Amino acid sequence: MALFESRRPADSEEIVGTDAATRALSVTAVENDFVERVYQNISWFYDFTFGPALHPGRVDAIERMGIKPGDRVLEVGVGTGINAALYPSECSVTGIDFSSQMLVKARRRIARKGVRNVRLVEMDAANLKFADDTFDIVYAPYVISVVPDPVAVTREMYRVCRPGGRIVILNHFRSKSRLGAWLERIIAPFTLYLGFKSDLDLPAFLVQADLKPVSIEKVNVPRIWSLVTCVKN
């Protein structure tokens, strides 16, 4: 089977909703300072909680990327460096994060595991300091739902990806069921303190970020996390 089939994504019927271009992505709003404080606070237990629970999705994402020798990969929101050892050794990975505390842990992890093809840089994902068309794959694992402006971050990801390259987003998005969506809206202000918005609207996000996914797949257990893959035209 081809890596990306020529088919409409499973969620495509929602993506074309009439109000998707203007509706709010979430009931919550955050600033960079808040995000940095949250991740400084949770950095000490992140690996013991979100690490194991979300790891199957990380493995699936990197396997499905089909990374080739020599590929240049940008990981947006590298966190504590959990993904570092999962990448093939023949590719070149740049990992960025806004949280200096997370990067301290990532550097220790990379040194401990002897990973040599990953470099780490402290950087704001909404203002990437890279030239246009720099990377073959731009990957954002579990980060789009916490940044202050998901659309701005995604547009930067698109900008630094080369034509024909892939933008890959692994994230939780609001449930399609009415009850699930209602519950996620209610708890969203509280889940921010765990590092994510529980109610990010996928169809509105894709339309406003001008992304056209080639695949949307569910990962992890329970399967409430989505792996969204797009190709830059």
In one letter, which amino acid is 4? Answer: F
In a domain, 4, yes or no: no
In a domain, 187, yes or no: no
- C-alpha 118/C-alpha 95 separation (Å) is 7
- C-alpha 142/C-alpha 227 separation (Å) is 10
- The predicted model scores a pTM of 0.86
Q: Parallel, antiparallel, or unpaired: how do β-strands 161-172 and 135-141 relate?
A: parallel
Token pair 């990010």 is found at 200
Please give the pLDDT value at position 18.
59
Please give the pLDDT value at position 146.
86
Please give the pLDDT value at position 16.
45
In a domain, 199, yes or no: no
Q: Give the domain extent around 110.
A: 29-172+205-231
Q: Residue-wise pLDDT tens for the chain (233 aa)?
A: 333 333 444 444 344 455 898 898 998 888 888 777 877 778 777 788 778 889 999 999 999 999 999 999 999 999 999 999 999 999 999 999 998 888 999 999 999 999 999 999 999 999 999 999 999 999 999 999 989 999 999 999 999 999 999 999 999 999 999 999 999 999 988 888 877 889 999 999 999 999 999 999 999 998 999 999 999 98
Please give the pLDDT value at position 14.
46
In a domain, 14, yes or no: no
- C-alpha 156/C-alpha 161 separation (Å) is 9
Alpha helices in 192-229 (DSSP H): 202-208
Number of neighbours of residue 148 by Cβ within 10 angstroms: 16
200 near 192, Cβ under 8 Å?
Answer: no
In one letter, which amino acid is 80? Answer: T
In a domain, 94, yes or no: yes
- C-alpha 194/C-alpha 206 separation (Å) is 24
Please give the pLDDT value at position 39.
76
The total domain count for the chain is 1
167 near 138, Cβ under 8 Å?
Answer: yes
Here the CATH number for the domain that contains residue 110 is 3.40.50.150
Q: At 154, list the tokens.
A: 């995604």
186 near 194, Cβ under 8 Å?
Answer: no
